[in-house]
Amino acid sequence: MTPDDETGGREALTQRYPGLEVLVSDPANAQTASRANLASHITSREEHYIRTHHRTPDIDEDDWTVSLTGLVEAEAEIGMDELRCDFPTESVVHMMECSGNSRAYFDPDAEGDQWGDGAVGNAVWTGTPVRAILDEYDGATDDGRWLSAMGGEAPPDKDVFCRSIPMAKVVDDCLLAYEMNGSPMSAEHGFPVRLIVPGWFGNNSVKWVEEVRVMDEMVNGEEWTDRDGQDYTQYQQSSYRIVPQQDDEPTRHESVDVFSTHDQLQDDELSNAYLFDQLVKSLIIAPADDATLPASTVELAGVAWSGEERVERVEISTDGGESWDDAEFVGPDLGPYAPTKFRYVWEPDPGEYSLCSRTTDEAGRTQPATISDPEEGLRGIENDQYPWNEKGYGNNAYLPHAITVEVTA
């Protein structure tokens, strides 16, 4: 046993993050303890979920550098002072969701920690636009290139957490962030520096970034499955892919040119979508699940989010998805990747009700009703069903997220 074992580690983690429910403490994995935590406009760091594959590293920022390598005029080692002071600073409000969020709703169970719906949080991330660094060092930034970001925390016998991000997204709005909600980020959230890929699933936002490499392809092939004895491809090519029951392994690709996760799910050429930008989703926050309410006017409130396209519409059903009515949006508008708050005024008669919400984005993509059976072998969203997949990624079906309330006379 190490000092950070199941019991000791759990207590310490709970003390530092009182708003989280710990799933596993070593490595740290914890979700926001209640949907009610998502009612605040910004999720505090104590309530923002934590998802890690390896033990959280203890990093001295004075010694930390980010190596810039690959297709650049001159490779460079960028220290934290240079990163902060020699480049412009930008901030983004990003509702970040783990692609394993809502895995617990898969039936039969999908592999992995059984996240409920608390692996999502909305923070203000501040840092250096990656574009500015690539400009300074003459990196190749044309479309079709990739930037591979590598985490520095993997022990020598473990796979490196590495993600390849399409260059068009990188130069658009990705940050090497060093602050969360206006303070240096905590160790678990990536101190001293992490990538932020706004609007994309959390797995793209590599923490503890040690190297960023400009490439012609995603990490793939022997050069990357065995780079000085470590596999850099696992978290790009194997994990974070939609794998239906009939596939042994996902098909690896050198490159793809469709980046929207939703479009990949619907693309016959691409059999196992990558988890890139987030899928449309929403949660009813108030009233709470299983609440008992007096028969009077009830205000339903909730939160909706999406990927690269903004939320356009949220509908509410008070009869388990039979009929729908539009919710209204309540501000403020904190930018394209911030969550959309909604409300709906309801005048119920006594009875028991199943309440759910359904979001549609500007591209007309909408939440499906249910998760398919594994036997159907779906690779994309069809007939209002989200594809069951081996690792339970991307669940945005609205019925599993419904809440039940009782209205009394």
Enumerate binding residues for Mo ion (CB under 5 A).
Answer: 51, 98, 202-203
Show Cβ contacts of residue 183 under 8 Å, excluding neighbours closer than 6 positions: 45
Q: Which of positions 99-158 make contact with ligand MTE (CB under 6 A)?
A: 151, 153
Going residue by residue from 356 to 375, which x/- string records binding to ligand MTE, judged by CB under 6 A?
A: --------------------
Residues 184-213 binding ligand MTE (CB under 6 A) are: 188-190, 202-203, 205-208
Task: Map residues 71-90 to x or -, x wherever contact with ligand MTE holds by CB under 6 A.
Answer: --------------------
Q: How many residues bind ligand MTE (CB under 6 A)?
A: 19
Among candidates 181, 134, 167, 155, which has minimal Cα distance to 27? 155
236 binds ligand MTE (CB under 6 A): no
Is 52 a binding residue for ligand MTE by CB under 6 A? The answer is: yes
Residue type at 243 in one-letter notation:
V
- Cβ of 389: how many Cβ atoms within 10 Å? 27
Q: Which does 49 bind (CB under 5 to 8 A by kind): Mo ion, ligand MTE, none?
A: ligand MTE
159 binds, among Mo ion, ligand MTE, none (CB under 5 to 8 A by kind): none
Would you count residue 53 as binding ligand MTE (CB under 6 A)? yes
Min separation Cβ 379 and ligand MTE, Å: 22
Please answer whether residues 296 and 309 qualify as being in contact, where contact means their C-beta atoms are separated by less than 8 angstroms.
no
Half-sphere exposure of 336 (CA within 13 A, CB side): 13
For residue 346, the partner it binds in Mo ion, ligand MTE, none, with Cβ less than 5 to 8 A by kind, is none
In 10 A of CB 245, how many CB atoms? 15
Region of 180 (left: φ > 0; alpha: ψ -120 to 50; beta: rest) is beta
For 260: left if phi > 0, alpha if psi spans -120 to 50, otherwise beta; the answer is beta
Compute how many other C-beta atoms are within 10 angstroms of the C-beta atom of residue 42. 18
Q: Which is nearer to ligand MTE, 45 or 401 (CB)?
A: 45
Could you tell me the smallest distance in angstroms from the CB atom of residue 377 to ligand MTE? Answer: 26
Q: How far apart are CA 118 and CA 101, in angstroms?
A: 7
**How many CB atoms neighbour CB 44 within 10 A?**
16
337 binds ligand MTE (CB under 6 A): no
- Applying CB under 6 A, the residues found at the interface with ligand MTE are 48-53, 98, 151, 153, 161, 188-190, 202-203, 205-208
